[in-house]
Amino acid sequence: MPLVTARALILQAFPYSDTSKILRIYTLRHGLRSAIAKGALRPKSRFGGMLEPFTEGDALLYLKEGHDLHTLSGFDLLRSRQSLGRDLIAFAGASLLAELLLRFGTEEPHPALYEVMSHSLDTIANSSQPQTEQAVLSGVWLVVSLLGYQPELDACVTCGRALDPQQSTRFHAAAGGVACANCRPHGRALEASVRHDLRRMLAGEPIAGTFTRRETHRLLLQTFLTAHLAHDHPFRSLDLLMQQLT
């Protein structure tokens, strides 16, 4: 039962018995793990109120070989991100990021995914309207990309023909990206500026100028996640996010 110190993000926390908590955490070097924090709900617990979703710190873990549940021995808080709980759009966006990692994260370490998750939560927590929506959409698209679900934006998903960056296209969510007018004559048009902004979000680059076509960007994210990642199990946090954005 090795004792390790792991940089960790708390994705989910819920009570276990009257005194303890079960945590789902994403760690920099050990991937997605479950841990029990014994005594965390006691009034004089050494954990205090630190073990809440979206907090980040150095976790002292007893990793049990061959077990799904490990033991949290200590937690040194680095970021609490309490502001995420004071804005419903920020909270819904952070919850969607956490839900994505809970569904698709593994025990295999993915340092780039960890760093993007941490940075995205910071950006959302430090933003204010109207920048919060852009921060949420950018963070979610970047995580989706690192999970291996990046939509095709440069060539028609049906015929494979390269598309001019300045050309308006159609977005074919079920097929995984953009389509030319010949292959998809009907459907929602995707302006070149929207495709440009989406490409920058997927690359983790800031959007130059004013973030426009917000309704289109919301619909793109919603339809793509539903088609490729929901797998008949809708994301509860996605529904909450869309409710807050409309």
3-state secondary structure at position 8: strand
Cα–Cα distance measured from residue 162 to residue 31, given in angstroms and rounded to the nearest whole number: 37
Distance CA 118, CA 114 (A): 6
C-alpha 57/C-alpha 76 separation (Å) is: 5
Q: Give the chain's mean pLDDT.
A: 93
Measured CA to CA, the distance from residue 70 to residue 170 in angstroms comes to 47
pLDDT of residue 1: 61
Give residue 208's pLDDT. 73
pTM score above 0.85: yes
Q: Give CA separation, 90 vs 109, 175, 217, in Å.
A: 26, 30, 17
- Whether 228 and 177 have beta carbons less than 8 Å apart is answered as no
Query: Residues 31-49: what's their mean pLDDT?
Result: 93
pLDDT of res. 69? 96
Domains along the sequence of the chain with CATH: 3-80 (2.40.50.140), 83-245 (1.20.1440.120)
For residues 197 and 181, give the distance between their C-alpha atoms in angstroms, rounded to a whole number.
21
> Which is nearest to 199 in space by CA: 171, 174, 226, 227?
171
Separation CA 219–CA 83 (nearest Å): 26
In this predicted structure, the answer to whether residue 67 has a pLDDT above a threshold of 80 is yes
pLDDT band, very low/low/confident/very high, at 117 (cuts 50, 70, 90): very high
**Strand, helix or coil for residue 127:** coil
Exposed / middle / buried, residue 23 (Cβ in 10 Å: 0-12, 13-18, 19+):
buried
Confidence of residue 210 (pLDDT cuts 50, 70, 90): confident
Q: Residue 166 is encoded by which pair of tokens?
A: 């300045």
Secondary structure of residue 32 in the 3-state scheme: strand
Higher per-residue confidence, 129 vs 103: 103
pLDDT 10s digits, 173-198: 999 999 998 998 877 788 999 999 99
Instruction: Identify the pLDDT of residue 181.
Output: 87
Q: What are phi and psi of 23, to 5 degrees?
A: -120, 145
pLDDT for 185: 80
pLDDT of residue 187: 72
